[in-house]
Amino acid sequence: MSDALQSLLDLLDPERIEEDIYRGHSRSAVVPRVFGGQVAAQALVAAGRTVPADRFAHSLHAYFLRTGDPGAPIVYNVDRLRDGRSFTTRRVVAVQHGKPIFTLSASFQTYEEGLEHQAPMPPAPDPATLPTGEERLRSYPHLPADTVERFLEARAAVDLRYVDDPPFGDFGSPREPHSQVWFRTNGKLADDPLLHVVLATYVSDMTLLDSVLLAHGRGGWAVGDVVGASLDHAMWFHRPFRADEWLLYDQESPSTSGGRGLGQARIYTQDGRLALSVIQEGVVRVPREH
């Protein structure tokens, strides 16, 4: 396991400080605020630790309420809303400086046999044929060196490979609002199913709004031509998967309006099984000229 991955696992392991109360910390991100994927992942860990081991996360719905302060701890309060025969529901409120910054509702279910169907996996190149994230980032001379280093530091625990140029790599002309990335952790993980769900939750917030930017030829927060932040985030976990094996993140944007952009995506295992569905809306504003 790489040092970066171990550091990420430590970050996503909030401390239990009282019954149903946990405390997490933050680290540097691409932008000077707490990374949304980190808060969602820590909240899901807190929820999952109050659930029987034979119940697996099948969905989460979250709202980002306030900008997180990376210099202060985050307290996660877990409410045990329901413990049914098949389903368990938890609500988590993340608090900083006495105010809620994030809420998450998560549902867990015991394993059941049932009807099966899925959308087919779209075409995508083998991830082994694609440039690594570092190779691609360092190939763009227009990106400031400090921006590249922040990206690399923030994503060091994850092998994330774009199929085509990301918004910040080739911008100025609108493109189809569709983006694909392959990702996996930089190292093997334990077999705990919650751990793999948590890592996928963390990564899911990295690129989901890329397709919004592509539709308008914008490079995004990396080049300063838009201001953005996550508003809400929803995920459905359909089938078992491993976050340390290649996953295809197929993303698109059906709409942008009112200063908000919507991204939706499906995540497939390399052998074609639909593992997750994701939807996120975010603020996407063009900075005003003064």
- Active-site residues: which are they? 205, 230, 280
Q: Please compute, for residue 10, the number of CA atoms within 13 A of its CA located in the half-sphere on the CB side.
A: 8
Q: Find how far residue 8's CA is from the centre of its chain.
A: 13
Is there a contact between 199 and 184 (Cβ–Cβ < 8 Å)?
Answer: no
Phi, psi of 98 (to 5 degrees): 80, 5
Exposure class string for 260-286: b at 16+ Cβ within 10 A, else e:
ebbbbbbbbbbeeebbbbbbbbbbbee
Phi, psi of 10 (to 5 degrees): -65, -40
DSSP string, 91-156: EEEEEETTEEEEEEEEEEEE--------PPPPP---GGGSPPHHHHHTT-TTS-HHHHHHHHHHTT
Nearest-10 Cα torsion for 143, 148, 154, 159 = 100
Q: Which residue, 282, 192, 252, 244, is CA-closest to 5?
A: 244
Burial of 123 (0-12, 13-18, 19+ CB in 10 A): exposed
Is there a contact between 269 and 249 (Cβ–Cβ < 8 Å)?
Answer: no
Q: How many helices (H) and strands (E) does the chain have?
A: 6, 12
